[in-house]
Structure 1
Protein backbone atom coordinates (compact mmCIF):
# COMPACT_ATOMS: atom_id res chain seq x y z
CA UNK A 1 0.00 0.00 0.00
CA UNK A 2 2.82 2.43 0.89
CA UNK A 3 4.49 1.72 -2.45
CA UNK A 4 1.22 2.51 -4.29
CA UNK A 5 0.93 5.84 -2.47
CA UNK A 6 4.56 6.67 -3.21
CA UNK A 7 4.05 5.79 -6.87
CA UNK A 8 0.93 7.99 -7.08
CA UNK A 9 2.74 10.90 -5.41
CA UNK A 10 5.65 10.53 -7.83
CA UNK A 11 3.27 10.53 -10.79
CA UNK A 12 1.50 13.65 -9.52
CA UNK A 13 4.84 15.38 -8.93
CA UNK A 14 5.84 14.74 -12.54
CA UNK A 15 2.47 16.02 -13.81
CA UNK A 16 2.65 19.14 -11.63
CA UNK A 17 6.18 20.03 -12.71
CA UNK A 18 5.38 19.32 -16.36
CA UNK A 19 2.28 21.53 -16.19
CA UNK A 20 4.30 24.39 -14.68
CA UNK A 21 7.00 24.07 -17.34
CA UNK A 22 4.52 23.81 -20.22
CA UNK A 23 2.70 26.88 -18.88
CA UNK A 24 5.85 28.93 -18.36
CA UNK A 25 8.00 27.85 -21.32
CA UNK A 26 5.64 26.15 -23.77
CA UNK A 27 5.08 22.51 -24.57
CA UNK A 28 7.54 22.21 -27.45
CA UNK A 29 10.34 23.93 -25.53
CA UNK A 30 9.99 21.58 -22.56
CA UNK A 31 11.96 18.35 -22.87
CA UNK A 32 11.66 15.26 -20.70
CA UNK A 33 15.13 16.14 -19.38
CA UNK A 34 13.84 19.53 -18.21
CA UNK A 35 10.88 17.88 -16.49
CA UNK A 36 13.20 15.41 -14.77
CA UNK A 37 15.52 18.21 -13.68
CA UNK A 38 12.55 20.06 -12.13
CA UNK A 39 11.37 16.96 -10.28
CA UNK A 40 14.90 15.89 -9.26
CA UNK A 41 13.89 12.36 -10.29
CA UNK A 42 15.67 9.99 -12.64
CA UNK A 43 14.60 9.36 -16.23
CA UNK A 44 13.79 5.84 -15.12
CA UNK A 45 11.18 7.25 -12.74
CA UNK A 46 9.61 9.18 -15.61
CA UNK A 47 9.45 6.17 -17.91
CA UNK A 48 8.01 4.05 -15.11
CA UNK A 49 4.94 6.31 -15.18
CA UNK A 50 4.83 7.72 -18.73
CA UNK A 51 5.75 6.18 -22.07
CA UNK A 52 6.83 9.41 -23.76
CA UNK A 53 6.28 13.15 -23.93
CA UNK A 54 2.87 12.73 -25.56
CA UNK A 55 1.79 10.58 -22.62
CA UNK A 56 2.74 13.27 -20.09
CA UNK A 57 1.15 15.92 -22.32
CA UNK A 58 -2.17 14.08 -22.30
CA UNK A 59 -1.96 13.59 -18.52
CA UNK A 60 -1.33 17.31 -18.01
CA UNK A 61 -4.29 18.20 -20.24
CA UNK A 62 -6.72 15.81 -18.56
CA UNK A 63 -5.56 16.19 -14.96
CA UNK A 64 -4.50 19.83 -14.73
CA UNK A 65 -5.83 21.90 -17.63
CA UNK A 66 -9.26 20.28 -17.75
CA UNK A 67 -9.58 20.50 -13.96
CA UNK A 68 -8.77 24.23 -14.00
CA UNK A 69 -11.55 24.95 -16.49
CA UNK A 70 -13.95 22.58 -14.76
CA UNK A 71 -13.46 24.29 -11.40
CA UNK A 72 -13.06 27.83 -12.68
CA UNK A 73 -15.56 28.08 -15.53
CA UNK A 74 -17.89 25.05 -15.67
CA UNK A 75 -18.88 24.28 -12.08
CA UNK A 76 -19.74 27.93 -11.36
CA UNK A 77 -22.35 27.72 -14.15
CA UNK A 78 -24.23 25.04 -12.18
CA UNK A 79 -26.21 27.55 -10.16
CA UNK A 80 -29.79 28.66 -9.59
CA UNK A 81 -28.80 32.27 -10.23
CA UNK A 82 -30.72 34.09 -12.97
CA UNK A 83 -29.08 32.98 -16.27
CA UNK A 84 -28.03 36.37 -17.67
CA UNK A 85 -26.55 37.50 -14.36
CA UNK A 86 -24.88 34.10 -13.95
CA UNK A 87 -23.19 34.35 -17.35
CA UNK A 88 -22.05 37.90 -16.63
CA UNK A 89 -20.67 36.85 -13.26
CA UNK A 90 -18.77 33.81 -14.57
CA UNK A 91 -17.32 35.56 -17.62
CA UNK A 92 -16.20 38.63 -15.68
CA UNK A 93 -15.31 37.54 -12.14
CA UNK A 94 -12.70 34.99 -13.24
CA UNK A 95 -10.88 37.61 -15.32
CA UNK A 96 -10.75 39.90 -12.30
CA UNK A 97 -9.30 37.17 -10.07
CA UNK A 98 -6.22 36.33 -12.15
CA UNK A 99 -2.82 36.92 -10.63
CA UNK A 100 -0.24 38.99 -12.53
CA UNK A 101 1.55 35.76 -13.44
CA UNK A 102 -1.65 34.30 -14.91
CA UNK A 103 -2.31 37.51 -16.85
CA UNK A 104 1.21 37.45 -18.29
CA UNK A 105 1.23 33.73 -19.10
CA UNK A 106 -2.30 33.55 -20.54
CA UNK A 107 -4.62 30.57 -20.40
CA UNK A 108 -2.94 27.14 -20.17
CA UNK A 109 -5.65 25.57 -22.34
CA UNK A 110 -5.47 28.28 -24.98
CA UNK A 111 -1.67 28.15 -24.99
CA UNK A 112 -1.77 24.42 -25.68
CA UNK A 113 -4.53 24.76 -28.28
CA UNK A 114 -2.41 27.29 -30.18
CA UNK A 115 0.82 25.34 -29.79
CA UNK A 116 -0.16 21.69 -30.26
CA UNK A 117 -3.91 21.55 -30.89
CA UNK A 118 -3.44 20.68 -34.53
CA UNK A 119 -0.27 18.61 -34.23
CA UNK A 120 -1.61 15.23 -33.10
CA UNK A 121 -5.08 13.71 -32.88
CA UNK A 122 -4.61 12.74 -29.22
CA UNK A 123 -3.93 16.33 -28.17
CA UNK A 124 -6.71 17.62 -30.39
CA UNK A 125 -9.31 15.26 -28.90
CA UNK A 126 -8.23 15.94 -25.30
CA UNK A 127 -8.34 19.72 -25.78
CA UNK A 128 -11.58 19.54 -27.73
CA UNK A 129 -13.21 17.65 -24.85
CA UNK A 130 -12.48 20.60 -22.55
CA UNK A 131 -14.12 23.05 -24.95
CA UNK A 132 -17.07 20.71 -25.63
CA UNK A 133 -17.79 20.27 -21.91
CA UNK A 134 -17.56 24.02 -21.35
CA UNK A 135 -19.80 24.72 -24.34
CA UNK A 136 -22.45 22.27 -23.11
CA UNK A 137 -22.48 23.87 -19.66
CA UNK A 138 -23.11 27.31 -21.20
CA UNK A 139 -25.79 25.94 -23.53
CA UNK A 140 -27.58 24.47 -20.51
CA UNK A 141 -27.64 27.88 -18.80
CA UNK A 142 -28.92 29.62 -21.94
CA UNK A 143 -31.60 27.00 -22.62
CA UNK A 144 -32.73 27.36 -19.02
CA UNK A 145 -32.97 31.12 -19.54
CA UNK A 146 -35.00 30.63 -22.72
CA UNK A 147 -37.39 28.24 -20.99
CA UNK A 148 -37.97 30.64 -18.08
CA UNK A 149 -38.30 33.69 -20.32
CA UNK A 150 -35.23 35.58 -19.08
CA UNK A 151 -33.41 35.05 -22.40
CA UNK A 152 -34.95 35.80 -25.79
CA UNK A 153 -36.35 32.66 -27.49
CA UNK A 154 -34.55 33.40 -30.78
CA UNK A 155 -31.10 33.22 -29.14
CA UNK A 156 -28.93 30.44 -30.61
CA UNK A 157 -27.48 28.85 -27.47
CA UNK A 158 -24.63 27.03 -29.25
CA UNK A 159 -23.56 30.20 -31.08
CA UNK A 160 -23.58 32.24 -27.87
CA UNK A 161 -21.64 29.53 -26.03
CA UNK A 162 -18.84 29.36 -28.58
CA UNK A 163 -18.73 33.16 -28.81
CA UNK A 164 -18.33 33.53 -25.03
CA UNK A 165 -15.62 30.88 -24.89
CA UNK A 166 -13.79 32.49 -27.82
CA UNK A 167 -14.01 35.94 -26.25
CA UNK A 168 -12.73 34.70 -22.89
CA UNK A 169 -9.88 32.68 -24.39
CA UNK A 170 -9.06 35.41 -26.88
CA UNK A 171 -8.71 38.14 -24.27
CA UNK A 172 -6.32 35.95 -22.31
CA UNK A 173 -4.04 35.86 -25.35
CA UNK A 174 -4.46 39.54 -26.18
CA UNK A 175 -3.61 40.49 -22.57
CA UNK A 176 -0.32 38.61 -23.01
CA UNK A 177 0.37 40.65 -26.12
CA UNK A 178 -0.43 44.06 -24.64
CA UNK A 179 0.75 43.47 -21.06
CA UNK A 180 -1.86 46.04 -20.05
CA UNK A 181 -4.97 45.57 -17.90
CA UNK A 182 -6.81 48.25 -19.88
CA UNK A 183 -7.46 45.58 -22.50
CA UNK A 184 -9.20 43.49 -19.82
CA UNK A 185 -11.40 46.44 -18.86
CA UNK A 186 -12.46 46.76 -22.50
CA UNK A 187 -13.28 43.04 -22.60
CA UNK A 188 -15.33 43.31 -19.40
CA UNK A 189 -17.37 46.16 -20.83
CA UNK A 190 -17.87 44.40 -24.17
CA UNK A 191 -18.80 41.00 -22.80
CA UNK A 192 -21.17 42.53 -20.26
CA UNK A 193 -22.96 44.48 -23.00
CA UNK A 194 -23.14 41.37 -25.20
CA UNK A 195 -24.64 39.21 -22.46
CA UNK A 196 -27.20 41.93 -21.60
CA UNK A 197 -28.46 41.76 -25.18
CA UNK A 198 -29.58 38.17 -24.59
CA UNK A 199 -32.48 39.44 -22.47
Structure 2
Protein backbone atom coordinates (compact mmCIF):
# COMPACT_ATOMS: atom_id res chain seq x y z
CA UNK A 1 0.00 0.00 0.00
CA UNK A 2 1.36 3.43 -0.94
CA UNK A 3 2.11 6.08 1.67
CA UNK A 4 -0.75 8.17 0.28
CA UNK A 5 -3.25 5.33 0.68
CA UNK A 6 -2.01 4.64 4.21
CA UNK A 7 -2.43 8.30 5.13
CA UNK A 8 -5.91 8.34 3.60
CA UNK A 9 -6.91 5.20 5.50
CA UNK A 10 -5.53 6.72 8.70
CA UNK A 11 -7.64 9.85 8.30
CA UNK A 12 -10.70 7.72 7.60
CA UNK A 13 -10.14 5.60 10.71
CA UNK A 14 -9.79 8.67 12.93
CA UNK A 15 -12.94 10.20 11.44
CA UNK A 16 -14.86 6.95 11.90
CA UNK A 17 -13.80 6.81 15.55
CA UNK A 18 -14.88 10.40 16.17
CA UNK A 19 -18.22 9.87 14.40
CA UNK A 20 -18.80 6.75 16.51
CA UNK A 21 -17.93 8.78 19.59
CA UNK A 22 -20.54 11.40 18.75
CA UNK A 23 -23.23 8.77 18.24
CA UNK A 24 -22.44 6.73 21.35
CA UNK A 25 -21.93 9.71 23.67
CA UNK A 26 -25.24 11.21 22.54
CA UNK A 27 -26.91 7.86 23.16
CA UNK A 28 -25.29 6.85 26.47
CA UNK A 29 -23.28 9.75 27.87
CA UNK A 30 -19.51 10.09 28.20
CA UNK A 31 -19.03 8.11 31.42
CA UNK A 32 -21.14 5.19 30.19
CA UNK A 33 -19.37 5.02 26.83
CA UNK A 34 -16.39 2.64 26.91
CA UNK A 35 -13.41 2.56 24.57
CA UNK A 36 -14.02 -1.09 23.73
CA UNK A 37 -17.57 -0.28 22.65
CA UNK A 38 -16.31 2.52 20.40
CA UNK A 39 -13.69 0.23 18.84
CA UNK A 40 -16.24 -2.52 18.26
CA UNK A 41 -18.63 -0.15 16.52
CA UNK A 42 -15.89 0.88 14.07
CA UNK A 43 -14.19 -2.51 13.79
CA UNK A 44 -10.64 -1.47 14.68
CA UNK A 45 -8.13 -2.59 17.32
CA UNK A 46 -7.21 -0.72 20.49
CA UNK A 47 -3.81 0.16 19.04
CA UNK A 48 -5.56 2.29 16.43
CA UNK A 49 -7.35 4.23 19.16
CA UNK A 50 -4.14 5.11 21.01
CA UNK A 51 -2.45 5.99 17.74
CA UNK A 52 -4.84 8.93 17.43
CA UNK A 53 -5.80 9.72 21.04
CA UNK A 54 -3.71 9.93 24.21
CA UNK A 55 -6.58 8.95 26.49
CA UNK A 56 -10.33 8.73 26.69
CA UNK A 57 -10.44 12.37 27.80
CA UNK A 58 -8.36 13.40 24.78
CA UNK A 59 -10.75 11.42 22.59
CA UNK A 60 -13.77 13.10 24.19
CA UNK A 61 -12.30 16.57 23.67
CA UNK A 62 -11.59 15.76 20.03
CA UNK A 63 -15.18 14.51 19.67
CA UNK A 64 -16.32 17.93 20.90
CA UNK A 65 -14.05 19.63 18.34
CA UNK A 66 -15.24 17.34 15.55
CA UNK A 67 -18.91 17.91 16.29
CA UNK A 68 -18.43 21.64 16.90
CA UNK A 69 -16.83 22.11 13.49
CA UNK A 70 -19.82 20.49 11.82
CA UNK A 71 -22.47 22.33 13.82
CA UNK A 72 -20.80 25.74 13.68
CA UNK A 73 -20.35 25.39 9.92
CA UNK A 74 -24.06 24.58 9.63
CA UNK A 75 -24.91 27.66 11.72
CA UNK A 76 -22.65 29.87 9.59
CA UNK A 77 -24.20 28.53 6.38
CA UNK A 78 -27.64 29.55 7.60
CA UNK A 79 -26.61 32.94 8.95
CA UNK A 80 -24.70 33.84 5.78
CA UNK A 81 -27.62 32.99 3.49
CA UNK A 82 -28.47 36.40 2.02
CA UNK A 83 -31.61 35.06 0.34
CA UNK A 84 -33.34 35.71 3.68
CA UNK A 85 -33.42 38.62 6.18
CA UNK A 86 -31.13 38.14 9.21
CA UNK A 87 -33.80 37.06 11.70
CA UNK A 88 -35.32 34.66 9.19
CA UNK A 89 -31.90 33.05 8.71
CA UNK A 90 -31.65 32.49 12.46
CA UNK A 91 -35.18 31.11 12.65
CA UNK A 92 -34.53 28.72 9.77
CA UNK A 93 -31.46 27.38 11.60
CA UNK A 94 -33.47 26.62 14.72
CA UNK A 95 -36.39 25.21 12.73
CA UNK A 96 -34.02 22.77 11.03
CA UNK A 97 -32.65 21.77 14.43
CA UNK A 98 -36.20 21.23 15.69
CA UNK A 99 -36.96 18.94 12.77
CA UNK A 100 -33.77 16.98 13.48
CA UNK A 101 -34.74 16.45 17.12
CA UNK A 102 -38.26 15.49 16.08
CA UNK A 103 -36.89 12.90 13.62
CA UNK A 104 -34.86 11.37 16.48
CA UNK A 105 -37.94 10.92 18.62
CA UNK A 106 -36.84 13.73 20.99
CA UNK A 107 -33.92 11.61 22.16
CA UNK A 108 -30.19 12.33 22.43
CA UNK A 109 -30.47 16.13 22.63
CA UNK A 110 -27.47 18.45 22.21
CA UNK A 111 -23.98 17.00 22.62
CA UNK A 112 -22.68 20.21 24.17
CA UNK A 113 -25.55 20.55 26.61
CA UNK A 114 -25.40 16.86 27.54
CA UNK A 115 -21.66 16.93 28.18
CA UNK A 116 -21.95 20.20 30.07
CA UNK A 117 -24.46 18.70 32.48
CA UNK A 118 -22.44 15.51 32.87
CA UNK A 119 -18.87 16.80 33.02
CA UNK A 120 -18.69 20.52 33.82
CA UNK A 121 -18.17 19.76 37.52
CA UNK A 122 -15.89 16.78 36.87
CA UNK A 123 -13.44 17.98 34.24
CA UNK A 124 -12.09 21.50 33.86
CA UNK A 125 -10.77 20.61 30.41
CA UNK A 126 -14.25 19.67 29.21
CA UNK A 127 -15.87 22.65 30.91
CA UNK A 128 -13.49 25.11 29.26
CA UNK A 129 -13.78 23.54 25.79
CA UNK A 130 -17.56 23.41 25.93
CA UNK A 131 -17.66 27.03 27.06
CA UNK A 132 -15.45 27.99 24.11
CA UNK A 133 -17.86 26.29 21.71
CA UNK A 134 -20.95 27.90 23.24
CA UNK A 135 -19.27 31.32 23.26
CA UNK A 136 -18.62 30.88 19.53
CA UNK A 137 -22.30 30.00 19.01
CA UNK A 138 -23.25 33.13 20.89
CA UNK A 139 -20.80 35.26 18.88
CA UNK A 140 -22.26 34.10 15.57
CA UNK A 141 -25.82 34.67 16.72
CA UNK A 142 -24.89 38.14 18.02
CA UNK A 143 -23.41 39.04 14.62
CA UNK A 144 -26.70 38.04 13.01
CA UNK A 145 -28.67 40.15 15.49
CA UNK A 146 -26.45 43.17 14.81
CA UNK A 147 -27.11 42.71 11.11
CA UNK A 148 -30.85 42.66 11.88
CA UNK A 149 -30.45 45.88 13.88
CA UNK A 150 -28.58 47.52 11.03
CA UNK A 151 -31.34 46.50 8.61
CA UNK A 152 -34.02 47.92 10.93
CA UNK A 153 -35.56 44.56 11.81
CA UNK A 154 -34.62 44.65 15.48
CA UNK A 155 -34.44 47.37 18.13
CA UNK A 156 -31.07 49.07 17.90
CA UNK A 157 -30.89 49.66 21.65
CA UNK A 158 -30.84 45.94 22.44
CA UNK A 159 -27.49 44.54 23.58
CA UNK A 160 -26.91 42.01 20.79
CA UNK A 161 -24.43 39.94 22.79
CA UNK A 162 -26.77 39.68 25.74
CA UNK A 163 -29.74 38.87 23.53
CA UNK A 164 -27.71 36.21 21.72
CA UNK A 165 -26.82 34.65 25.07
CA UNK A 166 -30.49 34.61 26.07
CA UNK A 167 -31.42 33.00 22.77
CA UNK A 168 -28.78 30.28 23.12
CA UNK A 169 -29.57 29.65 26.80
CA UNK A 170 -33.29 29.40 26.01
CA UNK A 171 -32.59 26.92 23.24
CA UNK A 172 -30.43 24.68 25.41
CA UNK A 173 -33.10 24.72 28.11
CA UNK A 174 -35.80 23.87 25.57
CA UNK A 175 -33.77 20.90 24.29
CA UNK A 176 -33.29 19.61 27.83
CA UNK A 177 -37.03 19.98 28.53
CA UNK A 178 -37.76 18.23 25.21
CA UNK A 179 -35.76 15.17 26.29
CA UNK A 180 -37.80 14.92 29.49
CA UNK A 181 -41.21 15.62 27.92
CA UNK A 182 -40.47 13.56 24.80
CA UNK A 183 -42.57 15.87 22.65
CA UNK A 184 -42.33 18.95 20.45
CA UNK A 185 -43.96 21.42 22.83
CA UNK A 186 -40.77 22.84 24.44
CA UNK A 187 -39.24 23.45 21.00
CA UNK A 188 -42.47 25.00 19.74
CA UNK A 189 -42.57 27.28 22.77
CA UNK A 190 -38.99 28.36 22.07
CA UNK A 191 -39.69 29.18 18.41
CA UNK A 192 -42.87 31.09 19.18
CA UNK A 193 -41.62 33.13 22.12
CA UNK A 194 -38.20 33.85 20.66
CA UNK A 195 -39.29 34.84 17.16
CA UNK A 196 -42.85 36.03 17.66
CA UNK A 197 -42.24 37.93 20.92
CA UNK A 198 -38.64 38.62 21.97
CA UNK A 199 -37.13 39.24 18.53
CA UNK A 200 -40.29 40.72 17.02
CA UNK A 201 -40.17 43.85 19.17
CA UNK A 202 -40.11 46.79 16.79
CA UNK A 203 -38.44 50.18 17.42
CA UNK A 204 -41.88 51.74 17.99
CA UNK A 205 -42.39 49.47 21.01
CA UNK A 206 -39.29 50.70 22.81
CA UNK A 207 -41.03 53.16 25.12
CA UNK A 208 -43.29 50.46 26.56
CA UNK A 209 -40.48 48.15 27.60
CA UNK A 210 -38.42 48.33 30.83
CA UNK A 211 -34.75 49.17 30.70
CA UNK A 212 -32.48 46.10 30.69
CA UNK A 213 -30.71 45.23 33.93
CA UNK A 214 -27.08 46.39 34.02
CA UNK A 215 -24.35 43.81 33.61
CA UNK A 216 -22.46 42.79 36.74
TM-score of the superposition, structure 1-length normalised?
A: 0.89
Q: Structure 2: 5+ residue runs without aligned partners?
A: 204-216
Q: 2:98 aligns with which of 92, 95, 100?
A: 95
Higher relative contact order at CA 8 Å, sep ≥6: structure 1 or structure 2?
A: 1
Q: 2:141 aligns with which of 138, 146, 169?
A: 138
Q: Is the contact made by 1:88 and 1:195 (CA closer than 8 Å) also made in structure 2? A: no
Structure with max Cα Rg: 2
Structure with a larger share of its residues in helix: 1
Q: 1:116 aligns with which of 115, 119, 133?
A: 119
Question: Does residue 75 of the first structure (1) align with residue 83 of the second (2)?
Answer: no
3-state secondary structure, aligned to 1:98: helix
- Paired with 1:90 and 1:13, the residues of 2 have a C-alpha distance of 26
1:105-184 correspondence to structure 2 within 5 Å: 105-184=108-187
Runs of 4+ in 1 over 4 A off after TM superposition: none
TM-score of the superposition, structure 2-length normalised?
A: 0.83
Q: Structure 1: 5+ residue runs without aligned partners?
A: none
Partner of 1:196: 200
Residue-pair matches, total = 198
- Paired with 1:167 and 1:198, the residues of 2 have a C-alpha distance of 21
Q: Is the contact made by 2:78 and 2:90 (CA closer than 8 Å) also made in structure 1? A: no
1:25-40 correspondence to structure 2 within 5 Å: 25-40=28-43
- Paired with 2:41 and 2:14, the residues of 1 have a C-alpha distance of 13
Q: Is the contact made by 2:149 and 2:156 (CA closer than 8 Å) also made in structure 1? A: yes
CA RMSD of aligned residues (A): 1.9
Question: Structure 1, residues 21-50: CA drift from partner, whole Å, max 9, x if none?
Answer: 111100011121221222222211211111
